[in-house]
């Protein structure tokens, strides 16, 4: 969702799954983790509360940062690297970002302004995408640590942690709306609006979780479903909703296209079949 619409917010083996349609013959909807390789696991969970559209499934990718780097890629960063002041043509779909940069998985990095800047604070090595912290956006995902005393990756809860000190320990950061606090509590009030969803979480063991659901949910319901799953999740933050909510996995044991569609007040249907272009994404790469 671009900002002008964001005011709506206050077994192993090959798995081939297209998130917008019916699973291929080799695909399975499961409720247990499938190891793609060491430190990388995938699961598709059927929700307890059924969505009015789609297959009522939440997909989760679990990434161990000991084995994989979490890279922030931005159109503005590409523009700087190419000495180009116009970054619009550097937007790519999640699938394009993956193929262009050799990434195993790609997900939204957060909501963005019309010019491609992240709505909240965002930095990457050598480039500041947005240098201003957004009031009320109480979660910041950080990685690329500078000091050995910091975790490899974490979600900073700005209401419960010294975020100013912690931000100095990392080269990469992206701010968005907190969904689950450091105490493991849902922080999103119930509301009637619903949409397809992409989100990011952390386990109690320090693993990163990428979430995607094409089926639309009210955000509070989506959070409650995630907390009820065998994920060991402790923190979560919102990334994107509606047609732009994207998760692409390109692995020899799993090809997954998680393409969003429904969004209250904007695209109230399940008809979108294509990834939308994005200015900012997180990608997974082997170390």
Domain containing 78: what range?
3-286
Identify the CA nearest to 158 among candidates 179, 170, 140.
140
pLDDT averaged over 10-residue windows placed end to end, the chain, 287 residues: 43 43 38 91 95 96 98 91 72 97 97 95 96 97 96 97 96 98 92 97 96 98 94 94 98 96 98 97 97
CB 171 within 8 A of CB 186: no
Q: How many domains does the chain have?
A: 1
Q: Which of 245, 248, 260 is nearest to 284 (CA)?
A: 248
- Find out whether 107 and 281 touch, Cβ atoms under 8 Å: yes
R_g over Cα of the chain: 17
Q: What is the rounded distance in angstroms from the CA atom of residue 161 to the CA atom of residue 92?
A: 34
pLDDT tens figures, 213-244: 999 999 999 999 999 998 888 899 999 999 99
**Tens digits of residue pLDDT in 96-143:** 999 999 999 999 999 999 999 999 999 999 999 999 999 999 999 999
Distance CA 206, CA 220 (A): 24
């Amino acid at each position: 969702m671009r900002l002008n619409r964001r005011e709506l917010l206050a077994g192993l083996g090959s798995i081939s799954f297209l998130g917008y349609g019916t699973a291929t013959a080799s695909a399975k909807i499961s409720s247990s983790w499938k190891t793609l390789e060491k430190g990388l696991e995938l699961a598709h969970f059927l929700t307890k509360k059924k969505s009015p559209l789609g297959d009522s499934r939440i997909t989760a990718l679990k990434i161990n940062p000991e084995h994989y780097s979490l890279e922030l890629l931005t159109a503005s960063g590409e523009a700087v690297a190419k000495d180009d002041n116009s970054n619009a043509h550097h937007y790519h779909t999640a699938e394009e970002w993956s193929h262009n940069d050799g990434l195993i998985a790609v997900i939204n990095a957060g909501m963005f302004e019309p010019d491609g800047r992240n709505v909240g604070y965002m930095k990457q090595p050598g480039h500041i995408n947005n240098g201003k912290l957004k009031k009320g956006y109480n979660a910041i995902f950080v990685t690329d640590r500078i000091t050995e005393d910091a975790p490899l990756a974490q979600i900073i809860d700005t209401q419960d942690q010294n975020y100013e000190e912690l931000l100095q320990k990392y080269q990469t950061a992206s701010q968005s709306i907190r969904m689950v606090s450091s105490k493991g509590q849902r922080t999103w009030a119930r509301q009637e609006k619903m949409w397809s969803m992409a989100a990011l979480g952390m386990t109690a063991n320090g693993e990163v979780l990428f979430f995607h659901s094409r089926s639309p949910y009210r955000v509070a319901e989506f959070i409650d479903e995630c907390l009820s799953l065998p994920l060991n999740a402790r923190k979560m933050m919102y990334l994107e909703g509606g047609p732009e909510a994207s998760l692409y996995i390109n692995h020899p044991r799993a090809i997954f296209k998680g393409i969003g569609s429904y969004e209250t007040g904007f695209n109230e249907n399940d008809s979108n079949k294509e990834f939308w272009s994005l200015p900012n994404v997180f990608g997974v790469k082997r170390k």
